[in-house]
Amino acid sequence: METTAMVLDKVNSTQDLKNLSLEEMNLLSGEIRELIMKKVNTTGGHLGPNLGIVEATIALHYVFNTPEDKLVFDVSHQCYPHKILTGRKEGFTDPDKYLKYTGYTAPEESKFDLFKVGHTSTSVSLAVGLAKARDLRGGSENIIALIGDGSLSGGEAFEGLDNAAVLGSNIIVVVNDNDMSIAENEGGLYANLKLLRETNGQAECNFFKALGFDYYYVDNGNDIESLITAFKQVKDTNHPVLVHIHTLKGKGCPAAEQNKENYHWIVPGALDNNPAPTVLEEETYTSLTTDFILDKHSKDNTVIAISPATPGVSGFTKEFREKLGKCYTDVGIAEQHAVAYASGLAKGGAKPILAIMSSFVQRAYDQLSQDLALNNNPATILIFWGGITGADATHLTKYDIPLISNIPNIVYLAPTNKEEYLRMLEWSTEQKEHSVVIRVPMTEVVSCGKEDTTDYSVLNKYQVVESGSEVAILGLGNFFGLGQKVKSLLKEKTGISATLINPRFITGIDTELMESLKSNHKLVITLEDGVLEGGFGEKIASYFGNSDIKVLNFGARKEFTDRTPIEELYQRYHLTQELILEDIKKCL
Amino acid sequence: METTAMVLDKVNSTQDLKNLSLEEMNLLSGEIRELIMKKVNTTGGHLGPNLGIVEATIALHYVFNTPEDKLVFDVSHQCYPHKILTGRKEGFTDPDKYLKYTGYTAPEESKFDLFKVGHTSTSVSLAVGLAKARDLRGGSENIIALIGDGSLSGGEAFEGLDNAAVLGSNIIVVVNDNDMSIAENEGGLYANLKLLRETNGQAECNFFKALGFDYYYVDNGNDIESLITAFKQVKDTNHPVLVHIHTLKGKGCPAAEQNKENYHWIVPGALDNNPAPTVLEEETYTSLTTDFILDKHSKDNTVIAISPATPGVSGFTKEFREKLGKCYTDVGIAEQHAVAYASGLAKGGAKPILAIMSSFVQRAYDQLSQDLALNNNPATILIFWGGITGADATHLTKYDIPLISNIPNIVYLAPTNKEEYLRMLEWSTEQKEHSVVIRVPMTEVVSCGKEDTTDYSVLNKYQVVESGSEVAILGLGNFFGLGQKVKSLLKEKTGISATLINPRFITGIDTELMESLKSNHKLVITLEDGVLEGGFGEKIASYFGNSDIKVLNFGARKEFTDRTPIEELYQRYHLTQELILEDIKKCL
């Protein structure tokens, strides 16, 4: 890409695209691909999905009159070519601006982006809304939803398709079928997609036709000419159509073409080293988890690990999955099913362990409540990455405590060290009384140095780590370490020997212990690595509401932050020992 | 059913069923139908779904060896015949025991019931879990999921089917197709079901086959012999099969056959009067809602009402729906889609008003967060029936405050009277800044006697209804009236003139007002008609945690209650003015 004669130089808007020849568009595809590889290899990001969708993005913007015609991305892992073509190419050509734009569609960046999206399976429903609004307004623009085959396994996508098909007016669903989710696709639907690919879209038994769509198939979904032909055919349709395009995930990057899972999203530098994914040698809470499951599995064939299409989140590597064999299920992007499935497994006498990222467990609230907790089935759910982070707004992981801990019956545990975590895992998988959720620590592995022998069936029993007076510090889960630091600093600066408590249980109050604090404490502070609203600390504040004990709750505020550095968030929320000390002093 | 020679007399277990002749089973169907009509006409309950499934239930228990073979009901609106056949017929023959058993499957009642279920679309996922557990255990029983056509529109059902189809072992999904949801079915899938019915299951384009199922069709799903033949064919299958049975909703009750929607669930006595559903003359919050929407609609064609297959919850009668025409959408049982659709509509310039029952909004947490709130699209969502009730455990409506109010950006409003409600509706539908949720009062209509002119775009501004001192009462939404009573009683018994506050906003704290209370108040009490954990009051307690103000939070506890009388709950939770006064006295 050293030449100055790039086609991209003359493409500053989607209008410019319309003046290009087919040859130029083909050149442009290559240029965009190079930019994406270079940029993603520098910053990290989604590689495979974006490389596969380059030609389709060009063809869509060539045929349709965006932004009047509205293009809705699903999950938007595949929006980089779109960003390049819609006024944001500097974010890919200029290393200084690599971080200027998010990795997801973002209406505040461009009028070509309709929704801020980062969870899957939403595009069709959102597009149906846009299309219906157009009909009510009397408009005539095209509404296009671009959804990957992986996203089709999510129930929301089905609900959207089912409704889109009966809209009775213009809506165009483009299914980008690269035969992969993040990992392999799982589910019966994918055999039908395969059949459709193998029959050039001609098979009579057709999932999309069964839902009522007028169906089109493009076998070479990386061929701009074919795509343009298909999109022109369906442009301005007066009824719901679905265009199924067969693309190659990772196209143009041999490593990504060959190892689609590992190159779905890459870390900086991944393309330089042509790496096998690094096997981490040090112990992590992830490795503790997989080691525990493998060990359990070797003794008990009813132990089964489950992932909703995000095995990487929990360290469920290909090797791990192969070792488990039939005792591993990837349910596809189907969090609702994952939770209900786990409940059924537990009811049926198996020992399910469902690993799910905090941000995605949001998709299964009702299943946690109705399918699982109401039935008290003894499944184990591991929440990964729960805590305050500098992530983009669509992948915040600070809401799981309010989400889960306010559901009756569930026992939500917050381990603070390795020994506790392993004990909780063992207890949870063997007990038969409760639906248990464990918030896997996001910290480095901490050892307390001795085996934990706690009986966690005695619910809501907090651990007093150090007895003191005047101030009691409740350091929940990830923030127990912060609690230790606060205690030290408080001692150093004020001489106060605070009581340090490890609550362990997020879902209940140790009322006996709390009562005992009243005799020689003036202030209780709570520390939680999550949003305060609806969380742990507020319950403690409510508990002490009618007493003389004062309570200070520390945690995140209820807000969608977007790639805000975590240090900034810690300052904003007073989540450093120094700031907490200041607040304590004001209160005493 | 006055005769003593009932076939049912000799059916005390499913084993007894196996000794019956076909003729006896046909007689039994009639007997069961009579019992259901009589019982439901006395107690109220689900009529149409149960009348349609009588023969299939007999055939299932006849062919399969329940409870070793496991039968999982979806939503379990259709479990009455099952209960009659599995040891609980007294609940239908003996009027004194009419209320002994719940209207839903309940494992605590019988080992024939696998799960406590009341929300739709869950059966297939739960069954996949049971089937997989069986495989891991090395068992050989049949696993059967019985799901209605209406429930298929829910995304969780799709996720379940998609996974069931690739299970690779025995699972039998019985689709009970009566061509109705509660109201008409909505969605493209239903055209395919129609095609299958019309072709006696022979059409090549087959939704279930597309997912990979071995497919069977029974055209007369109320014919025991046909059903037995089909079930025998699939019994002990070694792979996933789906049996599509065509039944008649309301069968045997002419009124219910003709008016399937109104007889889905009936009130006591409905069959005596052969009634057109009573049109209530008095004003309700429901009638205020529909009147508001119709009036808006008459002036603005972009106003659109949406229901996720529960139009009755919000008073969206057939007449109302017809008046709105294309400005009404029933999305099917698809709450996720409903919320995303509303977000898309708002983004597209329409004015969507989505009406949803508190218990079912639980199915759309992630859509409220990601599809709606993160995008700040100005949709209006009306939560119906939010509050503490004596409902069964599957239909509790006390969790919506923690669920919704801890999501950033959403403005969740709690009107306390007619004028406020109408003002909030008007504001919400016309503003463009916020995603707004309104908790429609569950009380009788209260008028404050004068128009509300509040500008609700000034967020989190509480209303001081009466200024006082010492005690401040925050009476939220439904419980504002309780707050008034507490204030009166407090004055009467102690002479204290409390400050009475109508918070109006659930999603934020009026910090200015709260600060001002500190000067002349000792105690703040909060009253909310919902669960305390994660709710409104805890936030107030946390706010005052570092002050000398004491706080008492009143509301429900986090627990699944099951048909517990509301008076008992009010006693348990101290939700009467007398009990609250006692608690206040202890605190002062």
User: What are the tens digits of pLDDT across the range B52-106?
Assistant: 999 999 999 999 999 999 999 999 889 999 999 999 999 999 999 999 999 999 9
Assign A274 a pLDDT band (cuts: 50, 70, 90): low
- A116, A140, A159, A166, best to mutate vs chain B, most B CBs in 10 Å: A159
Tens digit of each residue's pLDDT (9 = 90 or more) over B105-155: 999 999 999 999 999 999 999 999 999 999 999 999 999 999 999 999 999
* pLDDT for residue A550 is more than 60: yes
Which class for A494: exposed (0-12), middle (13-18), buried (19 or more C-beta within 10 A)?
Answer: middle
In one-letter notation, the amino acid at residue B64 is F
Q: What superfamily in CATH does domain A7-273 come from?
A: Thiamin diphosphate (ThDP)-binding fold, Pyr/PP domains (3.40.50.970)
A1 pLDDT band, cuts 50/70/90, is very low
Give the residue from chain A lying closest to B297, CA to CA.
A136
Fold observed for domain A332-439: Rossmann fold (3.40.50)
Separation in Å, CA of A136 to nearest CA in chain B: 5
Pairing relationship of beta strands A265-266 and A45-46 according to DSSP bridges: antiparallel
Mean pLDDT of B311-315: 95
With a CB cutoff of 8 Å and minimum separation 6, the contacts of A180 are A48, A149, A150, A249, A260, A261, A264
Interface predicted TM-score of the whole assembly (ipTM), two decimals: 0.97
Q: What pLDDT, in 10s, does the model give residues A421-439?
A: 999 999 999 999 999 999 9
Number of Cβ within 10 Å of residue B557's Cβ equals: 14
Q: Does A209 touch chain B (CB under 8 A)?
A: yes
**pLDDT value at residue B274:** 58
pLDDT at B453 over 80: yes
Could you report the per-residue pLDDT of A75-107, keeping only the tens digit for each? 988 999 999 999 999 999 999 999 999 999 999
Helix, strand or coil for residue A2? coil
- Report CB contact under 8 Å: A125, B336: yes
For position A104, what pLDDT does the model report?
95
Fold of B288-439: Rossmann fold (3.40.50)
| Domain B463-587 coded CATH 3.30.70.20 | no
Q: pLDDT higher for A482 or A273?
A: A482
pLDDT score of A279 more than 80: no
The model's confidence at residue B184, banded by pLDDT at 50, 70 and 90, is confident
Burial of A445 (0-12, 13-18, 19+ CB in 10 A): middle
- Cα–Cα distance for residue pair B379/B341, rounded to 1 Å: 10
In the structure, what pLDDT confidence band is assigned to residue B277 with cuts at 50, 70 and 90?
low
A72 and A123 Cβ atoms separated by less than 8 Å: yes
Is A344–B130 a contact, with Cβ atoms under 8 angstroms apart? yes
Asked if the model's pLDDT at residue A584 lies above 50, the reply is yes
**Nearest CA distance, B215 vs chain A (angstrom):** 12
Q: Tell me what the mean pLDDT of segment A142-156 comes to.
A: 97
pLDDT of A517 strictly over 50: yes
On whether any CB of chain A is under 8 Å from the CB of B210, the answer is yes
pLDDT at B552 over 70: yes
Note the pLDDT tens digit of each residue in A221-260.
999 999 999 999 999 999 999 999 999 999 999 999 998 8
pLDDT tens-digit map of A324-359? 999 999 999 999 999 999 999 999 999 999 999 999
**Taking Cα atoms as reference points, which of A508, A509, A490 lies closest to residue A500?**
A490
Closest CA to B541 of B559, B558, B524: B524
Q: What is the pLDDT of residues A151-183, one digit of tens each?
A: 999 999 999 999 999 999 999 999 999 987 777
Interface subset of B 530-549, CB within 8 angstroms of A: 531-535, 537-539, 541-542, 544-547
Is beta strand A351-357 parallel, antiparallel or unpaired with respect to A303-307? Answer: parallel
pLDDT per residue over B473-529, tens digit each? Answer: 999 999 999 999 999 999 999 999 999 999 999 999 999 999 999 999 999 999 999
Structure-token pair, residue A141: 């623009």
What pLDDT shows up at residue B182? 72
Residue B1's pLDDT band (boundaries 50, 70, 90)? very low
DSSP state of A370: I
What is the average pLDDT across B403-428? Answer: 98
| pLDDT of res. A4 | 62
CA B468 to chain centre: 40
Chain B residue numbers touching A191 (CB-CB < 8 A) = 165-166, 212
What are the helix (H) ranges across B465-543? 480-494, 511-517, 536-543
pLDDT digits (tens, 9 = 90+) for A109-127: 999 999 999 999 999 999 9
Distance, in Å, from the CA atom of A72 to the CA atom of A86, rounded to the nearest integer, reads 14
pLDDT at A169: 98
Cα distances (angstroms) measured from residue A360 to each of A288, B58, B369: 22, 41, 11
pTM: 0.97
Tens digit of pLDDT for each residue in B361-394?
999 999 999 999 999 999 999 999 999 999 999 9
Q: What is the pLDDT of residues B188-223, one digit of tens each?
A: 999 999 999 999 999 999 999 999 999 999 999 999
Model confidence at A275, pLDDT cuts 50, 70, 90, reads low
Domain B7-252, CATH among 3.40.1280.10, 2.40.50.140, 3.40.50.970, 1.10.1240.10? 3.40.50.970
Would you call A418 helix, strand, or coil by DSSP?
A: helix
Mean pLDDT along residues A570-585: 98
Chain A CB contacts of B122 below 8 Å = 340, 367, 370-371
Averaged pLDDT for residues A561-570: 97
Q: Is the pLDDT of residue B307 over 50?
A: yes
Burial B138-166 (b: 16+ CB within 10 A, else e): ebebbbbbbbbbbbbbbbbbbbbbbbbbb
- Decide if A7-273 and A463-587 have a common fold: yes
Checking DSSP bridges between strand A171-177 and strand A240-246, what pairing results, if any?
parallel
Residue B153 sits at the chain A interface (C-beta within 8 Å): yes
Q: Closest-CA residue in chain A for B240? A: A188
* Domain locations along chain A: 7-273, 332-439, 463-587
Q: Per-residue pLDDT tens for B241-262?
A: 999 999 999 999 999 999 888 8
**Is the CB of A136 less than 8 angstroms away from the CB of B546?**
no
Cβ-based contacts of B147 with chain A (< 8 Å): none
Residue A462, pLDDT above cutoff 80? yes
The pLDDT > 70 percentage for chain B reads 98
Beta bridge partners of B412: B437
A127 with B403: Cβ contact below 8 A: no
CA distance linking residue B232 with residue B224, whole number of Å: 12
